[in-house]
Structure 1
């Protein structure tokens, strides 16, 4: 199921996105007593964290994972975990024992293997044999990348691993990312896309739904997800 919600402002859009997170959390906690939630970093993350902090969500019953991470130390300003620790975890009643970070300071190949085993162990729900997160948050870049899957690494979309190492094409920085398999197994995928510079990427990705296109990572994910909601302030209709 695909839906797109266009709002006049980024703030209003993020509030809708976070409302959907709250609904997913309520359902998961009611069914199993735990909410398996995967976060992303990026420019919009802090705005999302701000709204989530004020949301009525049972954070003490939430397990936090990551969609992707840069291969830097956790106190580096580029760390997705570090960003969440400073602007999110410090302001909610999350349990430290329920925060499972990707260790950016480790060998990315070995860390992806470790993290994949961890996800296999903790995320019990399955979709076609793949661990199924209750909710994941994604963004879309101006080049139509999503997670840390870039146009130069489309093969990761079909990779049978849960997580794998990849490089950022612009900075040549190693990253670790969910593969397409893991993303598509999620029960709910929420995508926040903001800023005029992303209009072309968003429009082409949405237009690719009917043909199940694969001209970009975002198009591939959007056209194949079982339940994906896009929230944006970009009027592409």
Structure 2
């Protein structure tokens, strides 16, 4: 079983610096292999967008070789405030030396089933054929119900074992139509990192990390990789015996 590494920081600045350092070191290790290698990272939305935008901008790496995927995405137009891609486009383009072409995006004009299949085809360009995709890094969030990506407690997608990217048309959290990476992909990643900040996360963090409830976020257990939780003091306030960094 992959051990959980839990790191608690006294503020989001220190957390952001650590997150950026971890990602840049991992990226540079991957890219130092040379050739046509690219660094493949999966993104989540929410507060982590601003955190990544601010602190990744301060690291040195070959940005042209980063490729940004989405751990899940809402099936809405790119001018919709619910679009995760739009959040990154608005905060990354112009702040980091990256282009829109480096983001592997959904086609929001397709049906949710077609959009999931289309995203699989787009992903397959960057991974070895006939192999389960292995992301270098996945940035994950956790909802108040313990969901991560668009994998919600009790939903049938939590039992998916073969499809890389699955459609969901009955998301308990709006908007209802989304696509999401599935557990086979999450658990094949090299590095999974959960980022949680603020007191509103304290209860679910306790349920996951202290009480060890069987929730989707607790099912992220890379078979040949690592999983880390980066928390600020407010999110970690119901945990015991954690030392702030």
Q: TM-score, normalised by structure 2?
A: 0.86
Greater share of residues in helix: 1
Structure-2 residue corresponding to 1:195: 198
Per-residue deviation at 1:119? Answer: 1.6
Per-residue deviation at 1:96? Answer: 3.7
On the 8 A contact 1:53/1:91 being kept in 2, the answer is yes
- For 1:60 and 1:187, locate their aligned partners in 2 and report how far apart those are by CA, in whole Å: 21
Per-residue deviation at 1:224? Answer: 6.5
On the 8 A contact 1:6/1:232 being kept in 2, the answer is yes
RMSD (Å) for aligned C-alpha atoms: 2.2
Structure-2 residue corresponding to 1:68: 72
Structure-2 residue corresponding to 1:31: 33
Q: How does 1:40-59 map to 2 (within 5 A)?
A: 40-59=44-63
Per-residue deviation at 1:54? Answer: 2.1
Of 96, 100, 103, 2:104 maps to 100
The runs of at least 4 consecutive aligned structure 1 residues that moved more than 4 Å come to 222-225
Is residue 206 of structure 1 aligned with residue 209 of structure 2? yes
Secondary structure of 1:131's partner? coil
Per-residue deviation at 1:48? Answer: 2.1
Q: TM-score, normalised by structure 1?
A: 0.88
String of CA shifts for 1:64-90, please: whole Å, max 9, x gaps. 111111111011111000000010123
Per-residue deviation at 1:39? Answer: 1.1
Q: How does 1:1-237 map to 2 (within 5 A)?
A: 1-32=3-34, 33-124=37-128, 129-153=131-155, 155-166=157-168, 167-171=170-174, 173-207=176-210, 215-222=214-221, 226-233=225-232, 234-235=235-236, 236-237=239-240
On the 8 A contact 1:124/1:132 being kept in 2, the answer is no
On the 8 A contact 2:189/2:222 being kept in 1, the answer is no
Aligned length: 231
On the 8 A contact 1:14/1:192 being kept in 2, the answer is no
Per-residue deviation at 1:98? Answer: 2.6
Say if 1:157 and 1:183 are closer, same or farther in 2 by CA, change over 3 A.
Answer: farther
Question: Which moved further from structure 2: 93-102 or 66-75?
Answer: 93-102
- For 1:130 and 1:100, locate their aligned partners in 2 and report how far apart those are by CA, in whole Å: 18
